[in-house]
Amino acid sequence: MQEAKTQRYRVVIADDHLLVRKGIRTLVEELGHEVVAEVDEGIAAVAAVLALKPDLALVDIAMPGLSGIEVVLRVAVSLPGVRLLYLSGLSDKEAVIQALRAGADGYLLKDFLLDDLAVALQTVMRGERYVSPSLPVAIHQALEGSEEPLLTSRQIEVLRGLADGLTLKQIARAMNVSPKTVEFHRAKLSERLGIRDIPGLARYAARMGLVGGR
């Protein structure tokens, strides 16, 4: 615990639940760090991080506007020096692996204690990956040896459209691409995720927090 108190980090918290944000803020400040912004949706999260350039962003996966995964994809490209730690209640294998492969530095389950948060912050700020020890062993093993590819931003857009009940033609119009391009991305999604039907892809998108328009 001493290490967390000797170095003060600037932190952005992104979560769409007010009480959760306030609770996280209290714990972060108890560890001696400064919360420079609280936001309740993904677009605001990206804007806050790009404007404030914090040391660390704590990002919920399921948020309106942009999901936490989309936030991480954008921030990791624009500001690679900012550490990104997910706070999530999701514990299924596909969700955790895909979330981390978007470019985040760690994944902390929301039922954490103060000591868990302290260790997670110390770990990611050292440039190491943190994954909640309470996640199933199979997930830790998969993260160590998996070469599972990252979904592209275009594929995530297609997933969001499917989750919102749009047809491929409607998704194509929203993305300003041809229906054939959307079908190509959908086929790649099926191949990478092992989910062959559109309802299955929509359910996957919902688990990943991708439901909801921008």
pLDDT tens string 80-110: 889 999 999 888 887 788 788 788 899 999 8
Q: For residues 44-68, give the mean pLDDT.
A: 94
pTM of the model: 0.70
Spatial separation of the C-alpha atoms in residues 101 and 200, rounded to whole Å: 21
Smallest Cα–Cα separation from 142: which of 106, 97, 98? 97
CA distances (Å), origin 39, targets 20, 60, 65: 12, 10, 11
Spatial separation of the C-alpha atoms in residues 68 and 63, rounded to whole Å: 6
pLDDT confidence of residue 145: 58
Sign of CA dihedral 148, 120, 46, 210: positive
Least trusted range by pLDDT, from 111-115, 144-148, 193-197:
144-148
- Residue 128 CB burial class (10 angstroms; 0-12, 13-18, ≥19): exposed
Higher pLDDT, residue 96 or 50: 50
DSSP, collapsed to helix, strand or coil, labels residue 39 as strand
pLDDT confidence of residue 177: 84
Higher pLDDT, residue 30 or 214: 30
